[in-house]
Chain A
């Protein structure tokens, strides 16, 4: 009992001291995916397995689309992409983004929206199609980011979530850009 209490107190103290510590009172998954407009039934054929996390299921019910690799590839090759009318949003943290992202994708980590909102929001408002992705699999960062963007005023009709994420993208041997956006360090097939 004494061990548990001592370790518990030390654990909270360590979290408070650590510069990476979590703010206990903050809701990191703020109600970005609830807009109060009520939810609709999931579209027929929607995957409702645990792999499609609860956040993503709620988004789909609210009208945000899911995109497969063919649709995302088509948008990547769409001439509107060059004109800034198709925007790719990488919903992962710095470390993952720097390691490799879809070329010219904008980063938006929903845990720290204040760092990205002023840059990404105007891009999304101008774009006709906004594709949000994260790692794929059971990653829900794309769902939370899509919800955040929708609650910030981006039209739901133009937001889609690429469920396969960067994992599927790289498996399909699509180009990957390393480092900063437009760093020029692109690996994989040419666009």
Chain B
């Protein structure tokens, strides 16, 4: 369905955006570029983290087991088998700019529980060892080997912020298909 904006203006005297056309806020080129870089960074991080685990699934399985989330081998294997590839696909979708907001939301839903679980384990280790939290380090199964945990938590926090910005609508530049169902038309809200 197409709308003729001048005709609408004649009929009603006001300009209302047609229901089938999303009004996309016009952002400065710098913000658009920043959004693009943010999307690519988040996507690249997910591809790297995903592939590094997908290429060594047995190592990842051992690390997942140490979190003691479940004792059911099928669930445990499913997590270790699917999660790395899941992350990789999300990364590819972000880099290519496919279903960006939905993919970014999925990354937030992954990152938040991961971060909580890592923080809980680090707190338990710090308490058991009587060491300060900042000195705790272990291989969290994040794809980088042994890491200092407080740094990892900050890194995850930044990734969550980045993903939330994408959910909010940033990172539309150079997308193969920003939305799976509806391609918003480029239109200024001043029109």
| A residues lining the B interface (CB < 8 Å) | 1-4, 6-8, 10-12, 14-15, 18, 20-29, 49-51, 53-54, 93, 111, 137-138, 140-141
Could you name 24 residue pairs across A and B whose Cβ atoms are closer than 8 Å? A1-B102, A2-B102, A2-B180, A3-B93, A3-B180, A4-B109, A6-B89, A10-B86, A12-B82, A12-B85, A14-B54, A15-B81, A18-B57, A20-B54, A21-B57, A21-B81, A24-B81, A28-B61, A28-B77, A50-B124, A51-B129, A93-B59, A138-B66, A141-B62
Shortest Cβ distance from A97 into chain B, in angstroms? 13
CA distance A190 to B175 in the complex (A): 60
B73 touches A28 (CB 8 A): yes
B106 touches A7 (CB 8 A): yes
The proximity string for B residues 127-149 relative to A, scoring 1 for CB distances below 8 Å and 0 otherwise, is 01100000000110000001000
B-chain residues with CB within 8 Å of residue A24 when the two chains form the complex? 74, 77-78, 81
* Contact residues of B between 67 and 121, Cβ < 8 Å to A: 68, 73-74, 77-78, 80-86, 88-90, 93, 99, 102-103, 105-106, 109, 121
Give the nearest-CB partner of A54 in chain B.
Answer: B68
The answer to whether the Cβ of B55 comes within 8 Å of any Cβ in the partner chain is yes
CA distance A138 to B180 in the complex (A): 43
The answer to whether residues A51 and B68 also contact, given A10-B85, A28-B61 and a CB cut-off of 8 A, is no
Shortest Cβ distance from B182 into chain A, in angstroms? 13
Shortest Cβ distance from B171 into chain A, in angstroms? 15
A-chain residues with CB within 8 Å of residue B81 when the two chains form the complex? 11-12, 15, 21-22, 24
The answer to whether the Cβ of B125 comes within 8 Å of any Cβ in the partner chain is yes
The answer to whether the Cβ of B155 comes within 8 Å of any Cβ in the partner chain is no
Give the nearest-CB partner of B93 in chain A.
Answer: A3
A10 touches B89 (CB 8 A): yes
A138 touches B74 (CB 8 A): no
CA distance A25 to B73 in the complex (A): 7
The answer to whether the Cβ of B183 comes within 8 Å of any Cβ in the partner chain is no
The answer to whether the Cβ of B8 comes within 8 Å of any Cβ in the partner chain is no
The answer to whether the Cβ of B65 comes within 8 Å of any Cβ in the partner chain is yes
B106 touches A18 (CB 8 A): no
By secondary structure, the A interface counts as: loop
The answer to whether residues A29 and B65 also contact, given A22-B81, A24-B81, A50-B121 and a CB cut-off of 8 A, is yes
A3 touches B99 (CB 8 A): yes
Partner of B73, one of A11, A27, A138, A140: A27
B-chain residues with CB within 8 Å of residue A4 when the two chains form the complex? 106, 109
B58 touches A51 (CB 8 A): no
CA distance A15 to B81 in the complex (A): 6
CA distance A6 to B138 in the complex (A): 32
The answer to whether residues A137 and B138 also contact, given A24-B77, A93-B58 and a CB cut-off of 8 A, is yes
5 tightest A-B CB contacts, nearest first: A11-B85, A49-B128, A11-B82, A27-B73, A15-B81
Give the nearest-CB partner of A53 in chain B.
Answer: B66
B-chain residues with CB within 8 Å of residue A138 when the two chains form the complex? 66, 138-139
Give the nearest-CB partner of A28 in chain B.
Answer: B61
Q: A12-B81, A12-B85, A28-B61 are in contact. List 4 more A-B contacts (CB 8 A).
A: A3-B93, A3-B102, A50-B128, A54-B68
B-chain residues with CB within 8 Å of residue A10 when the two chains form the complex? 85-86, 89
CA distance A54 to B121 in the complex (A): 14
